[in-house]
Structure 1
Amino acid sequence: MTSFAHDFPFDPAYGRTLDDLLRIPAPAAPDDFDAFWRARYEKAREVATEPELGALEEVRDGVRIHGVTFTSVGGIRLGGWVALPAEGAAEYGFVIGHGYGGRQEPGPDVPLPLPGAAAILPCVRGMGARGLHPGIPDVANAHVLHGIQSRGTYVIGDCVADLWCAASALHELVPELAPGVGAPPLGYLGESFGGGLGALALPWDDRFGAAQLTVPTFGNHPLRLTLPCAGSGEAVRGHHREHPEVTEVLRYFDAATAATRLELPTLVAAALFDPSVPPPGQFAVHNALAGERELQVLSAGHFAYEGLAAQTAELRTARRRFFGARPGR
């Protein structure tokens, strides 16, 4: 077990060793789990995303960064950023999810994993400077409960659809990446909230060929409901105490359950100590993956510690190697 000095009223390692974490399973799926998600995916693919590329905002790390807006399910207009190669046509494409709290700028997700790549960095509905929408909370602890009374209204499902629509928008903006023109499938990067959304989104979308999920959330909800934390999961735990029937909704939004359907090569970076996203849920996602998988063990997530910069650099190197080994994916 990894332990750090902290002032949390619980153990962010949850008493688990690495061997313990590697044995945590995924919950069984509802009978109509696949049908539910395939129907949502088909609906998202019908959306005319009508992306609009904004003015050039920045040039760095081999890319030109523009603002972007696009339409997602429900007619909601979302924003974010698009990174395009500073020179030449794009050879690779990425969709990059964000953590719970959104993104105010492209930040550390640029530079991209491969030279010659383009990427869309969307703000999902309710989150970040360019994802705000009336009626959807922009604070994680409220956002994670929005619409949770039913599987059809839960905001997490629409956030997954926002990623699918972002992929459609990228293909329209960068036609040399579109399916059928010889470009490799898209890659996906997601951390924390974005990691959990990625696990839910990717099994149904054949436009993607590989993924990296870093400290992914939403893994093994039945177990998560027993684990105190400092992240959005605590709001779900509180809601569950008053509304135990929510467990039936959460079954459809379990990242570990979805991972049992995820056959793409996937690199998971999971932490041994994490006060915001309990490690047992992170490892449940990794353990459940149905396809080729690679694990990068982090000492901690959502926590500043000595050695963080070195481990971040190691993960960046692993990411370049992982995606670079799959140019044709």
Structure 2
Amino acid sequence: MTRFDLTLPELELYRPEVAEPEDFDAFWERTLDEARAFPAEPVVERVSSPLTQVEVHDVTFTGFAGQPVRAWLLLPSGSTSPLPAVIEYLGYGGGRGLPHEKLEWAASGYAHLIMDTRGQGSGWGTGGDTPDPAGTGPSSPGFMTRGIQSPDDYYYRRVYTDAVRLVDAARTLPQIDPARIIVTGVSQGGGIAVAVAGLVDGLLGVLPDVPFLQHFERAVGLTDAFPYQEIVTYLSVHRDVVEQTYRTLSYFDGVNFARRASAPALFSTALHDQTCPPSTVYATRNHWATDAAIEVYPFNEHEGGQGHQWVRQAAWLADRLSTIGATSA
């Protein structure tokens, strides 16, 4: 795969104008107020597991419209005081899987919450457990155009709300320090983390890894890769709804959340990535309202840095925690 996007010096300066609806803040305030009107106390049940150094808990919390959403909570065995927590959102098509598949954060001393993505979990991995009860109008296969006729009905309104509500739920758990919560994810999960960063105050950090759902207009016009191609397919059939489609997407574009982010971030991108083109990642990073570092993998595609990036994330978080500790001392 050859490079197809801007050069690295051009990416560093790329800060495009991205459409933002006038009622963006009002839309999300209303959405979250409606969701928070439902009882929020999560149900947490210890799960028997062959793991001896990590405790596994099955969590059910209240998401969009009061609907139940599933998550795993992994804790270092024997932990007694509230821990910093990493909340992870998942890549497109995957579910929360099995708890033993993601041990690195709990093995490093963090509480680790892994959110199921409603309606997904059958594209790869070991499955998901959360349905999406909402109906949809005409859409192309996949999730990108479900309910795209209106921001109120769009699929990612429900997903982003679930993600915020998991932060709310995490802050009520005795095992977690509510002042030390980090959100992260790869691809779709990175895009969800960006949205949460723009909707939730008081996060310790944000770790979007090759994030999806950024700068929609450029992504759709630049790459022929899926999932962005789902939007192309939809518009190739519904030729007269282009303006409305992009208006809906503007409520969910990572760039618009970046402008509202209050926590520092560590991004990653790969210069051969045709799934989430690097210019779309830089568009969000360069609009980030506070500090935002980025790791660049010049010769990788959408896999990005994988384990190498996790090592960088762990070091970045350790530095954040030591800085916060020194400040509070």
Structure 1 residue matching 2:105: 3-state secondary structure: coil
Residue aligning to 2:129: 130
Name the counterpart of 1:95. Answer: 87
Matched residue SS, 2:26: helix
Partner residue in 2 for 1:162? 162
Q: Quick check: 1:99–1:194 contact (8 Å CA) kept in 2?
A: yes
Q: 2:18 aligned with 1:20, yes or no?
A: no
The residue that corresponds to 2:124 in the other structure is: none
- Paired position in structure 2 for 1:288: 287
For residues 231 and 225 of structure 2, the distance between their equivalents in structure 1, rounded to whole angstroms, comes to 11
Q: Write the distance in 2 (CA, Å) between the matches of 1:52 and 1:164.
A: 17
Structure 2, unmatched stretches of 5+, are 122-127
RMSD of aligned Cα (Å): 2.6
Specify the code of the residue in structure 2 equivalent to 1:20.
E
- The equivalent of 2:176 in structure 1 is 177
Aligned to 1:117: 110
Query: Counterpart of 1:326?
Result: 320
Q: Distance in 2 between matches of 1:279 and 1:132?
A: 32
Does the 8 Å CA contact 2:140/2:234 hold for their aligned counterparts? no
Amino acid at match of 1:154: Y
- What is aligned with 2:146? 146
> Matched residue of 2:129: which SS?
coil
Matched, 1:199 2:197: no
Report the Cα distance in structure 2 between the residues aligned to 1:224 and 1:204, rounded to whole angstroms: 23
For 2:165 and 2:301, locate their aligned partners in 1 and report how far apart those are by CA, in whole Å. Answer: 29
Three-state SS of the structure 2 residue aligned to 1:225 is helix
Does the Cα contact within 8 Å between 2:92 and 2:120 map onto a contact in 1?
yes
Deviations 1:51-92 (A, max 9, x none): 222342536594212222222121221212111221122321
Query: SS of the counterpart of 1:160?
Result: helix
Distance change in 2, residues 1:22/1:58 (3 Å): farther
**Deviations 1:188-213 (CA, angstroms, capped at 9, x unpaired):** 11111111111112122124221100
Q: Give yes or no for the alignment of 1:85 onto 2:76.
A: yes
Contact persistence 1:100–1:140 (CA under 8 A): no
Q: CA deviation at 1:109?
A: 4.1
Q: How many residue pairs are counted as aligned between the two chains?
A: 307
Supply the AA of the counterpart residue of 1:51: P
Q: Secondary structure at the match of 2:153?
A: coil
Residue 249 of structure 1 is matched in structure 2 by 248
Q: CA deviation at 1:107?
A: 6.3
Compared CA separation, residues 201 and 314, structure 1 to 2 (3 A) = same
Q: 1:49 to 1:265 in 2, by over 3 A?
A: same
Equivalent of residue 217 in structure 2, options 215, 222, 226? 222
Q: Note the C-alpha offset of 1:15.
A: 3.8
- Tell me the TM-score normalised to structure 2 length: 0.84
The Cα of 1:93 is off from its aligned counterpart by 1.3
Which structure is higher in RCO with an 8 Å CA cutoff and minimum separation 6?
1
CA 1:59–1:24 in 2, change beyond 3 Å: closer, same or farther?
Answer: farther
Superposed CA deviations along residues 287-327 of structure 1, whole A, max 9, x for unmatched, are 21111111111232435xxxx7xx43331221111111122
Percent identical across equivalent pairs? 24
By how many angstroms is 1:111 displaced? 1.1
Query: Once the 2 structures are TM-superposed, how far is the Cα of residue 255 of structure 1 from its aligned partner?
Result: 0.5
Q: Which amino acid aligns with 2:152?
A: G
